[in-house]
A and B are shown apart, each in its own frame.
Chain A
Amino acid sequence: MKNKSLSIPYVVWMAFFVVAPLVLIVAYAFTARDGSVTLDNFNNMGVYFPAFYNSFALAAAATLLCILIGYPLAYFVSKESLLVRKVAMMLIMLPMWMNFLLRTYAWMSLLDDNGLINQFLRTVGVFDLVNALSGGNMTCLHMINTQGAIVLGMVYNFLPFMIMPIFSVIDKIDPRVIEAAQDLGADNAMVFRKVVFPLSLPGVLSGVTMVFIPSVSTFALSRLLGGGKTLLLGDLIEMQFLGNAYNPHLGSAIALVMMVIVLVCMAVMNRFGEGEEGVSVL
C-alpha cells in the first residue's frame, strides 16, 4: 500500500500546530512588547538564576532517586515468574492512570504538620525521644512546603516512568547471553556488571528522560507541595503567560532557554549512552 498523499493532512497539521508554535516562541523571545527585535529578555535572565538552579537541582535529585529505587525494583521483578512479573508491572502502571494532581493531593495531607506521618511519629514517641536527647521542643517534623516535599512529589509521580523502560529492557535480555557469561566463568556480580547493566542502559536513559523532563518543567508540584516558597522554572513560565506578571516575551525567552538546556543535556546523555552500547556490542 503506497500512498504518500494520505499523510498530507497531518503534515499540514504539524506545520500549523507543532512547528508554527515553536517558531512563535522563538519570535516572542527575541522581541519586545512593541514588536522591536531585542535581546533584553535574555539579558535580564540573571535575576532568575535561582529558579533555574532550583529546577535543575530538584529534578536531578528526583531523577537520581528514581534510578536508585527504580533500577533495583525492575531488576528484582524481572527475576520473578511470568505471572508475578505481569501483575507487578500492572501494579506499577495502575497509579499512573490516576491523575497526578490527585496523587499529589494525597501527599499534601500526609506530609502536613498534623498529618498522619507526624501523628504516627508522635504516637510512637519519636519527638519525645528527640526532645529528651536534645532538650529541644520538637512537636512535629516539618515536611510540607519544603524542597524535600517537592522532590518526594516528583519521585512519587514519575517513578513508574523510570521502572517501566528499565524493566522492559532487562526483561528482553536473552537468557542465553547470561548463560554464556556464566559458562565462561563469570560470577553473579560479574554477570550483572558486564552483561546485564550495559544491556539495560538504554532503558535507564529513556527512564531518565521521562522523569527529568516533567520534573524540570513542573509548576503544579511546587505550588502544591512546596507551598509556593520555591520558585521553579515552570512557575516562572506560568506566571508570564497566565499570572499577574503577564509578559509572554519574557516567558518565551525562559521557556526557550530551558528547552535548549534540556536538549543539550539529552544530546550529551544519548551520546554517552550510544558509546556504552557500542562497547557492549564489541
Chain B
Amino acid sequence: MSRRRIPSRVFSVLVYLFLYAPIVLLIIFSFNAGRSNRIWEGFSLQWYLELFHNARLLGALRTTVVLSLIAALMSTVLGTAAAIGFYSMRRRARGVCLAVNNVPLTNADIITGVSMMLLFVFAIDLFNGSPLSAALGLRWRMGFGTLLIAHITFDAPYVILSVMPRLRGLDPNIYEAAQDLGATGWYAFRKVILPEILPGVLNGVIIAFTMSIDDFVISYFTKGSGVTTLAVEIYTMVKKPVTPEINALSTLMFTVVFLLLLVVNVRQARQEAAATRQKAALTPDGKAR
C-alpha cells in the first residue's frame, strides 16, 4: 500500500512546491541588498526600512484597516438582523431574498464594481445638480463613503451565509420558553439566541474583515480619486517594473497571516481535544461516542 502511494505523494509535493516557491522567493529577495529580484547582492534590511517610510503605502494601509473594520462590523449587524428576518419569512419570500443576497457572491467582481460605480456617479450627479446641494453648499464626491457602502454590500452576504446555518440549528422553542419565563424580546435575544448563534456571527465578522482587506477590484472602481486602499496601492506599485518594497510587504503580510492561521488552528485543535475528553468523561462506559 505505502509503495503505491509514492507517485501520488510526489505529485502532491510538486503542487505544493508550485504554490510556495514564488512566495519563498519573494521572502528571500526581500532581504536582498540590491534592487533586483534576480541577482542576490547580499543581506540587507533596507527594503523594510523604506517600506516603513513609504507614507503613501502606510496611509493606504491605515485607510484599509479602518475601512475593513467599519465595513465588517456594520455588515455583521446588518447581516445578522437580516438572517434572523429571512429565517422568519415564508419559504418563497426567503428564497427570493437569498437569491438576491447571492448576486454579489456569484457575480464577477468587475461587474459588482462597475455597476456600483455607475450608481454612485448617477446619484452624485443627481445630488450635486439638485437645489439641496446648492442650499447646503455641499458637493458630494466618490471617496471613503462610497468605498464603505461598496464594502458593506459585498461583505454582508458572507455574514448571512455564516449565520443562517446556526439559526437553522436552533431549537425554535427556547426563545418562547425565555419569554414565558418573563424575558422581554431584546433580553431573550441577548441571553438566549445570541449565545447560540455567536460562533456564526463571529465567523461572519472574520470573513467580512478578510474579504474587505483583500478586495482589489471593487475598491478600484468605487474609491474615487481622493482615497486609496492597500490593494489598489499595491496594484500601482506592481505595475512599475522594479519595486523591492513589495517583497518586504509580501513577507510581512505572509508572516502575519501564517501566525494568525497557526494560532486559530492550534486553538481549535485544543478545543476539539478538550471537547472529546469531556464527552469521554460524560459517557458512562468511558468511551467517546
Contacts and interface: CB of A to CB of B under 8 A. Distances in A.
Contacts of B23: 95, 98, 103, 106
B66 interface: no
Given A25-B114, A90-B265, A237-B114, A18 B104 contact: yes
A51 B150 CA distance: 28
A269 interface: no
Interface string B103-128: 11011111110111111011000000
B101 A14 contact: yes
A92 B16 CA distance: 8
A7 B97 contact: yes
A191 interface: no
A181 B103 CA distance: 40
Given A94-B261, A116-B25, A99 B110 contact: no
A49 interface: no
A259 interface: yes
Interface stretch (B51-59, B82-90, B132-140, B274-282): B82-90
A156 interface: yes
A219 to B, nearest CB: 7
Contacts of A8: 85
B264 to A, nearest CB: 9
Given A101-B231, A106-B25, A213-B108, A28 B118 contact: yes
Given A7-B85, A20-B119, A110-B25, A255 B175 contact: no
A39 B118 CA distance: 19
Interface residues of A, number: 82
B82 A11 contact: yes
Contacts of B239: 223-224
B248 to A, nearest CB: 11
B265 A17 contact: no
A119 interface: yes
Contacts, number: 218
B interface residue count range (under 10 / 10 to 19 / 20 to 34 / 35 or more): 35 or more
Given A17-B153, A28-B118, A108-B238, A7 B11 contact: no
A99 B57 CA distance: 15
A25 B12 contact: no
A72 B261 contact: no
A22 B101 CA distance: 13
Interface string A190-209: 00000000000000000001
A213 B156 contact: no
A24 B119 contact: yes
B81 A107 contact: no
B12 A24 contact: no
A92 B249 contact: no
B19 A92 contact: yes
B114 A234 contact: no
Contacts of B261: 90, 93-94, 97
A189 interface: no
A98 B116 CA distance: 25
A213 B20 CA distance: 24
**Chain A interface mostly:** helix
Contacts of A24: 115, 118-119, 122
A262 B109 CA distance: 13
Given A1-B175, A156-B18, A72 B8 contact: yes
Given A86-B269, A101-B231, 4 more contacts: A94-B261, A101-B238, A106-B25, A214-B108
Interface of A: 1-11, 13-14, 16-22, 24-25, 28, 69, 72-73, 76-77, 79, 86, 88, 90-95, 97-110, 112, 114-116, 119, 156, 159-160, 209, 213-214, 216-220, 223-224, 234, 237-238, 241-242, 248, 251-252, 255, 258-259, 262, 266
Interface of B: 5, 8-9, 11-12, 15-16, 18-20, 22-23, 25-26, 29, 37-38, 78-79, 81-89, 97, 100-101, 103-104, 106-112, 114-119, 121-122, 149-150, 152-153, 156, 160, 170, 172, 175, 185, 188-189, 193, 210, 214, 216-217, 220-221, 230-231, 234-235, 238-239, 246, 249-250, 253-254, 257-258, 261, 265, 269
The 10 closest A-B pairs by CB, nearest first: A7-B85, A10-B82, A21-B115, A106-B22, A217-B108, A109-B37, A6-B85, A97-B257, A76-B8, A2-B88
